[in-house]
Amino acid sequence: MSNQQGAVVASRSYTSVLNVTNGERCGTWRGPEMGLDQFFAIDFSTWGDDDDTAMNGIRLICSKVRDRSLTYTVESHPGHWGDWSLPQYCPE
């Protein structure tokens, strides 16, 4: 099993961008991060704190479609306060 961080990828093509329209105006967005080509999300965890900031980060665990023995981690920069939730796995 391999566990690597995603890299900032400016030249790679993508099909959509998720935007948050109901969030607060505090804080700064970091650059986009992507997993390896041909890998797909199989689970996720969120980073949060017990204050009123809600979700401060997300971690995606990606693998090849039919081979979960090799995984790749992509995560946002969550900040300094909070903890990762337990992973929520997608069914096979």
Number of domains, the chain: 1
Q: What is the pLDDT of residue 69?
A: 81
Over the stretch 22-52, which tens digit does the pLDDT of each residue have?
766 666 767 777 777 788 888 999 888 877 6
Domain enclosing residue 80, as ranges: 1-11+31-92
Work out the average pLDDT over 62-74.
83
Answer yes or no: is 60 within a domain.
yes
List beta partners, residue 73. Answer: 61
Answer yes or no: is 43 within a domain.
yes
Answer yes or no: is 86 within a domain.
yes
Answer yes or no: is 74 within a domain.
yes
pLDDT score of 5 more than 60: no
Main-chain dihedrals φ then ψ at residue 30, nearest 5 degrees: -90, 175
Cβ–Cβ < 8 Å for 59, 45: yes
Answer yes or no: is 22 within a domain.
no
What is the residue-averaged pLDDT of the chain?
A: 76
The residue ranking higher by pLDDT, 33 or 62, is 62
Cβ–Cβ < 8 Å for 62, 6: no
Answer yes or no: is 67 within a domain.
yes
The secondary structure of residue 34, as a DSSP letter, is E
Work out the average pLDDT over 4-15.
57
List beta partners, residue 67. Answer: 64
